[in-house]
Copies of this chain bind each other. A is one copy, B any other.
């Protein structure tokens, strides 16, 4: 009952046409545009299609039409809350517009992005949304970047207000809590692998940290700047432990990412450092369930889903619009960030 005949062969348009007693061209018009077909035949064709439960072969359609109504999304890690939520936003917008989203996960592996883009192009996607990219060649379809940006190649980009965000965190530590010995644990800076991106998130955050510390006149020994490479909880934990073992350990740390901040929290716990008394911790990204952590994590509210939606909107514009024409007014949209004060910074809240 559940499975019917041994998968007889999917009915084709020709089968429907035969069943309805018309030619396949007429059947196509009846099911498609509806123009140039009498109401009577249209009804007959629809009935036949219904009866055979006909599903048009999208491959053939796309091949003929030259458009797949699909866009590719390239992200480093779908399982990360940030990208997962962004994906949701992207899908919302694009599916409402009749597009499909093909997700490729690069796992942060070098070169996988290029490979992913090539493969998606081979699958004839109409457009691309890319989180991080190390390539530079012409992609051949409209591209929107987000989070990490190469505007020269794309039709536009969405990025976080990295500099303002980091300043928010550092200023809070300095001005409200009088912190002076603040360290930074950030994502690895992979510029230099032959890429010269215009907006490179990791570097922006680092530069902003240096700038904020400088503005506040903080001492900034080189040991206070660390990178978690590869970007995951384990390397961050190690970095955190190294910080705590310095002769002059910091009394506050800024985590450049939620994963990193969580790693630092684990380091503090492992070394018996109380948070925030011995070590205040703040995070750029908001970790999941930030307010149920011990202590609740002070961080920046990010509007992930909204970022996804904006990126998708940008791409849709390029897809519907005249393509390259949209490039002029595009540029990089910055998404603002809001400070969410909790307890890990030292606040009572």
Chain A contact residues, CB within 8 Å of chain B: 1-7, 10, 55-60, 62-63, 68, 77-81, 84-85, 87-88, 91, 100-103, 105, 107, 118-119, 121-124, 136-141, 150, 152-153, 262, 265-266, 269, 287-289, 292-295, 324
Contacts and interface: CB of A to CB of B under 8 A. Distances in A.
B121 A262 contact: no
A1 B153 CA distance: 9
Contacts of A60: 63
B3 A58 contact: no
A5 to B, nearest CB: 8
Contact of A59 (B5, B68, B85, B140): B68
Contacts of A3: 138-139, 152-153
B57 A118 contact: no
B119 A100 contact: yes
A347 to B, nearest CB: 16
Contact of A266 (B6, B150, B292, B324): B292
Contacts of A80: 84
A216 B300 CA distance: 47
A121 B7 CA distance: 13
Contacts of A153: 2-3
Contact of A57 (B2, B85, B122, B324): B122
A58 B124 contact: yes
A121 to B, nearest CB: 6
Contacts of A56: 122
A152 B4 CA distance: 11
Contact of A58 (B123, B269, B287): B123
A85 B1 CA distance: 34
A333 to B, nearest CB: 19
The list of the 7 closest CB pairs from A to B, nearest first, reads: A294-B294, A79-B84, A4-B138, A2-B152, A59-B63, A3-B138, A79-B85
A121 B55 contact: yes
B68 A78 contact: no
